[in-house]
A = this chain, B = another copy of it.
Amino acid sequence: MKPGKNDNLKLLQVVIIGGGFGGLHAAKGLRNSPFLVTLIDKRNFHLFQPLLYQVATGELSPGDIASPLRAVFHRYKNIRVIMAEVVDIDARNRKVILKDGEVDYDFLVVSAGSGHYYFGNEKWAGIAPGLKTIEDAISIRHRVLQAFEAAERETDPQKKQELLTFVIVGAGPTGVEIAGAIAELARTTLEDDFRNIDPADSEIILVEAGDRILSTFPPGLSNKAQKSLTRLGVRLMTGSRITDIARNTVNIDLNHQPMVIKTRTILWCAGVKASTLGEVMARGCGAPLDKQGRVVVQPDLSIPGYPDIFVIGDLANFSHQGEKPLPGVATVAMQQGQYVARLLKKRFKGKKTFPFHYHHKGELAVIGRNSAVAHIKGFRFSGILAWFIWALVHIRFLIEFDNKILVLTQWAWNYFTRKRGARLITGEDSL
């Protein structure tokens, strides 16, 4: 490739925005490469999001599923980490504008992810938290445990029932996982912990607008997951659209019948929306956005007219010819990050490059101890076999990622003792 306007003494700069799965793997792919890499993130750590629900239910501590970005890259002198917030991209001058500074780039990889989306009812956010960050998880843990504590001391049976009712909105993998985990917390872990309530009396309600849970899985697996959840004591309400959320109340349209659930704990796992950096790129570079605010990318993940800007992960809308866009999952982001790193190295050496191609690894959702559903290369698994696949896949990622052998120890410990080591109510958040 041609060094362009850079003089020969200056290294080419790759700036990566976001230290999630996409950004992390792009940076890893460029370690010890001839590029000078700058990884920018608001946080100082990478989060292993697939296990975040276990922090929310007190099985794991935040430190178990997060790795400091500096620790990940400290050995690679061509990679530096900046903890900062990106506010704009100046594509003309090839600069990333930070809240408090700016960084030049020759190539830009935007992997800024997504946040919660309340379908235009953003005021619900304060009442029904989603699960994207460590703070979200601690806040959910706080709410759930605090609800049991308050129920133990409540004398009004009506209010007690409200406290012991948990509503989870959205039955994708996260909603299913957290509903299953709360059910197990109530039925198993907290058994015998209270004197005035039986946590097993709690009602865990999973509300889904579609006609089945885990809609991206084959219907047979949705069915099996539904049965597993019901066995755990989760009440499923499919075909149920949320019409309003207020403190202590969820209003639902259940096949055109209005319905009201009284509850103190509402968790939001329904909608995601791409990072606002999508809009920034639409404004600055005319990048095309889809309805969810994702950038519709070229076959090489760049944005039209800007071969030096790549968008990957949840923020990108990429489709193989004639297919629907890839989902916002970790494996897509990881493969896209690896692809961009390879592409840049090939371009540098003047080698031929190929369009991105996603290797579908399958889908997994865990429902509780010993139960999961998996759809892998056309094969369908459920029950304990799927659970073992789920555990193996996560163990492999964790070890590959940061030697997080301790998490495995913690899991094994929790698994055999049915203890939850991190069942702490901390922080200022109140019910």
From A7-15, A192-200, A205-213, A296-304, the one touching the partner chain is A192-200
Q: Are A149's CB and B83's CB within 8 A?
A: yes
The interface residues of chain B lying within 8 Å CB-to-CB of A58 are 63
Q: Which chain A residues (140-155) contact chain B, with CB distance < 8 Å? A: 145, 149, 152-153
How distant is the Cα of A143 from the Cα of B406 in the complex, in angstroms?
26
* Count of interface residues, chain A, beta-carbon cutoff 8 Å: 49
- Does A320 have its Cβ within 8 Å of any Cβ on chain B? no
Q: Are B145's CB and A44's CB within 8 A?
A: yes
CB distance from A196 to the nearest CB of B (A): 8
Q: From B84, B101, B410, B428, give the contact of A406 (CB < 8 A).
A: B410
How distant is the Cα of A424 from the Cα of B145 in the complex, in angstroms?
23
Q: From B63, B192, B420, give the contact of A61 (CB < 8 A).
A: B63
Q: From B71, B190, B193, give the contact of A423 (CB < 8 A).
A: B71
From A74-82, A87-95, A214-222, A243-251, the one touching the partner chain is A74-82
How distant is the Cα of A174 from the Cα of B58 in the complex, in angstroms?
28
The interface residues of chain B lying within 8 Å CB-to-CB of A80 are 195
Q: From B61, B405, B410, give the contact of A62 (CB < 8 A).
A: B61
Q: Are B70's CB and A194's CB within 8 A?
A: yes
The interface residues of chain B lying within 8 Å CB-to-CB of A66 are 422, 424
Q: From B61, B82, B410, B425, give the contact of A44 (CB < 8 A).
A: B425
Of all chain B residues, the one with the shortest Cβ separation from A142 is B44
Interface string of A406-431 (1 = CB under 8 A from B): 10011001000001111111111000
Q: From B145, B153, B192, B405, give the contact of A101 (CB < 8 A).
A: B153
- Does A134 have its Cβ within 8 Å of any Cβ on chain B? yes
How distant is the Cα of A410 from the Cα of B425 in the complex, in angstroms?
22
Q: Are A423's CB and B61's CB within 8 A?
A: no
Q: Are B43's CB and A153's CB within 8 A?
A: no
Q: Are B410's CB and A45's CB within 8 A?
A: no
CB distance from A161 to the nearest CB of B (A): 19
Q: Are A426's CB and B134's CB within 8 A?
A: yes
Q: Are B193's CB and A74's CB within 8 A?
A: yes
The interface residues of chain B lying within 8 Å CB-to-CB of A74 are 191-193
How distant is the Cα of A428 from the Cα of B42 in the complex, in angstroms?
12
The interface residues of chain B lying within 8 Å CB-to-CB of A363 are none
How distant is the Cα of A348 from the Cα of B270 in the complex, in angstroms?
58
- Does A64 have its Cβ within 8 Å of any Cβ on chain B? yes
- Does A290 have its Cβ within 8 Å of any Cβ on chain B? no
Interface string of A50-63 (1 = CB under 8 A from B): 00000000101111
Q: Are B425's CB and A427's CB within 8 A?
A: no
Of all chain B residues, the one with the shortest Cβ separation from A75 is B192
Q: Are A424's CB and B101's CB within 8 A?
A: no
Q: Are A426's CB and B70's CB within 8 A?
A: no
How distant is the Cα of A68 from the Cα of B185 in the complex, in angstroms?
14
CB distance from A43 to the nearest CB of B (A): 7
How distant is the Cα of A83 from the Cα of B421 in the complex, in angstroms?
18
Of all chain B residues, the one with the shortest Cβ separation from A60 is B63
CB distance from A393 to the nearest CB of B (A): 22
Of all chain B residues, the one with the shortest Cβ separation from A195 is B80
Additional A-B contacts beyond A70-B190, A83-B153, A135-B427 (14; CB < 8 A): A43-B424, A44-B424, A60-B63, A62-B422, A63-B423, A66-B424, A68-B420, A70-B194, A71-B193, A71-B420, A82-B153, A100-B153, A134-B426, A406-B406
Can you report 17 A-B residue pairs in the complex whose CB atoms are below 8 A from each other?
A43-B425, A44-B149, A45-B423, A61-B63, A61-B64, A61-B422, A63-B423, A63-B424, A64-B421, A68-B420, A74-B191, A82-B152, A83-B425, A135-B428, A405-B413, A406-B410, A409-B409
What 9 A-B pairs come out closest when comparing CB atoms?
Answer: A63-B422, A61-B61, A61-B63, A70-B193, A74-B192, A68-B423, A80-B195, A83-B149, A74-B193
